[in-house]
């Protein structure tokens, strides 16, 4: 009989990811063809805005590139600098770096109280949303063609 366990286990998490990757490759001709190519490698992509006089972080963007997609994970601008174009500058630089790596598209998630209007102004299209995630909040998914 199998035993159910619930502890956090980083080694098993890694193994699970590898097993799922193998299963997905077996079932998807597209993923199978990508395996072992540059398109299959995941690259981190970070852009930082730093005050040169203090070294303080004024803004930043973290993302990763995979399968010719830029996936923006985090974008933040210090409140003192919001509305000054720094968010646009961060996003634009990340998109340029992603294009240089061959990316054709970008994707990101944002909550209703964060920046959906900002992303629309940057040319992102709404791809979907989840109401009440977390409770009382709507999460939005946006995509953009980079070519």
87-108 confidence digits (pLDDT tens): 999 999 999 999 999 999 999 9
**Cα angle, residue 100 at apex, residues 90 and 68 outer, rounded to 5°:** 95
Average pLDDT for 122-136: 98
For the full predicted model, state whether its pTM sits above 0.85: yes
Length reported for the chain: 147
- Say which residues have a Cβ less than 8 Å from residue 2's Cβ, sequence separation at least 6: none
Q: Which two structure tokens, joined as six digits, stand for 75? A: 């974008």
Percent of the chain with pLDDT over 70: 100
Task: Determine the pLDDT at residue 36.
Answer: 86
20-56 confidence digits (pLDDT tens): 999 999 999 999 998 988 888 899 999 999 999 999 9
Task: Determine the pLDDT at residue 130.
Answer: 98
Q: Which two structure tokens, joined as six digits, stand for 124? A: 């992102």
Task: Determine the pLDDT at residue 90.
Answer: 98
Q: What is the C-alpha to C-alpha distance for residues 56 and 75, in angstroms, rounded to an integer? A: 16
């Amino acid at each position: 009989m199998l035993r159910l366990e619930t502890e956090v286990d980083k080694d098993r998490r890694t193994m699970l990811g590898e097993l799922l990757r193998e299963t997905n490759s077996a079932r998807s001709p597209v993923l199978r063809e990508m395996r072992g190519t540059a398109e299959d490698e995941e690259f981190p992509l970070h852009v930082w805005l730093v005050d040169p006089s203090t070294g303080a972080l004024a803004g930043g963007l973290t993302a990763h590139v995979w399968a010719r997609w830029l996936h923006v994970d985090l974008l933040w601008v210090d409140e003192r600098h919001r509305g000054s174009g720094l968010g646009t500058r961060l996003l634009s630089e990340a998109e340029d770096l992603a294009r240089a790596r061959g990316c054709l598209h970008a994707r990101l998630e944002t909550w209703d109280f964060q920046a959906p209007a900002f992303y629309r102004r940057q040319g992102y299209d709404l791809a979907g949303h989840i109401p009440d995630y977390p409770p009382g909040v709507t999460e939005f998914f946006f995509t953009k063609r980079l070519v």
